[in-house]
């Protein structure tokens, strides 16, 4: 059974102040009337419609101004959401409008109904996203959402072996066992006779005897003095 009521407050999905709507009799009797969200549709109550319309206009103007300022503010924010992800960047799970609303409240103390966050589908990859916000019938906004991994990137292993082995002197070792230096093959192919010939030193000829240096002649003995 339906009954007609006049709404005194804005109810999402039902109407705003001064709207005349039909609802279930039990819903009106057990919820709307006790919460003073509506009044029965009577001739006496119809006199309040003008006052309710005025209240509604003031509320909507306030909401418009508030949401316009909010749209400007959130456009400068970056809502960071950290999730579990594998090394390949693939997320475990997804990010929903409810999670974004919770992070807005936690990070910036902004209370926003998750129904105002427009996601075509849940976010399943890391990165930056521009999320549409339906803040008011005449106000739209955008929020930058950054999805990051909770797992830090792998740090490089300390003390890793270098690509090239080094000698004791610190120079890279370019030779390996079983390999011959360039030019070494040429030394091996050289004949032993030629090598012996080059190693021998020239000997002096037999007839060429070294000339002995002449001994200095003794000075002649001094003549004896004549005897008287």
103: Cβ–Cβ under 8 A, 6 or more apart, which residues? 79, 80, 81
Per the document, the length of the chain is 228
Contacts of 64 (CB under 8 A, 6+ apart): 136, 138, 139
Q: Output Rg (C-alpha) for the chain, integer angstroms.
A: 53
Q: What is the average per-residue pLDDT within 154-178?
A: 51
State pTM to two decimals: 0.56
List the domains of the chain with CATH numbers: 2-66 (3.40.5.10), 75-149 (3.10.430.100)
HEC assignment per residue over 75-131: CCCEEEEEECECCCCEEEEEECHHHHHHHHHHHHCCCCCHHHEECCCCEEECEEEEE
Q: What are the pLDDT digits (tens) for 24-64?
A: 999 999 999 999 999 999 888 888 899 999 999 999 999 99
Distance, in Å, from the CA atom of 84 to the CA atom of 77, rounded to the nearest integer, reads 23
Give me the pLDDT at residue 92, please. 86
- pLDDT digit string (tens) for 126-139? 999 999 999 988 99
């Amino acid at each position: 059974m339906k009954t007609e009521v006049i709404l005194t407050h804005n109810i999402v999905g039902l109407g705003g102040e001064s709207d005349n709507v039909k609802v279930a009799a039990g819903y009106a009797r057990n919820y709307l009337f006790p919460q003073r969200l509506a009044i029965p549709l009577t001739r006496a109550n119809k006199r309040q419609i003008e006052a309710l319309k005025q209240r509604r206009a003031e509320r909507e103007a306030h909401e418009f101004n508030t949401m316009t300022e909010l749209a400007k503010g959130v456009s400068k924010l970056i809502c960071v959401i950290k999730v579990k992800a594998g090394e390949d960047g693939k997320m475990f799970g997804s990010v929903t409008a409810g999670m974004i609303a919770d992070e807005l409240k936690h990070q910036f103390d902004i209370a926003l109904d998750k129904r105002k966050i427009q996601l075509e589908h849940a976010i399943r990859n890391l990165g930056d996203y521009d999320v549409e916000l339906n803040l008011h019938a005449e106000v739209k906004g955008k929020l930058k959402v950054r999805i990051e991994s909770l797992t830090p990137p792998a740090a490089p292993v300390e003390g890793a072996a270098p690509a090239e082995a080094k000698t004791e002197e610190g120079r890279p070792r370019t030779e390996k066992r079983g390999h011959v230096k360039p030019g070494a093959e040429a030394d091996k192919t050289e004949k032993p006779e030629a090598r012996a010939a080059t190693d021998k030193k020239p000997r002096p000829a037999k007839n060429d005897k070294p000339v002995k240096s002449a001994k200095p002649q003794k000075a002649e003995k001094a003549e004896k003095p004549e005897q008287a």
